Structure 1
């Protein structure tokens, strides 16, 4: 066999992957939370002129758009008692 190549069983490879995932989860769960002073402020949309529907371009949110295909399909399905 060539130099630098090791034979690894499927069980050993799986155990190594699980250990790696465990370390990733441990790092994710133990990462300190930023203090409130370092957190970035969130910009609140106050003026409706800043809001534009991506579907029709009106001064409303896409979720509130009467022509929103998701809303239209949901309402149409509701009238059929949610039967597809």
Structure 2
């Protein structure tokens, strides 16, 4: 689901983009987290709330890594109901 969202917001390319942190990131199909974060950066542009936006992007990146890790766990091990609800909150 996350990969499909990345594809809709930021198509995969052969480009490598250097972030504000100086790290070069590929925008390939398999690196959908990079593409999602780049989409957010592009939408934010040069807004003046730099430190707050950087913290938000760092948080989003961490959440994407955690979701990816949890999804990978489901391939190799059982995922508990509470872990699944972390990804897809239950509706009341």
TM-score in terms of structure 2 length: 0.28
Structure exhibiting the larger radius of gyration computed from Cα positions: 1
Structure with the higher fraction of residues in strand conformation: 2
TM-score in terms of structure 1 length: 0.31
Q: For CA contacts below 8 A with separation 6 or more, give which structure has more relative contact order.
A: 2
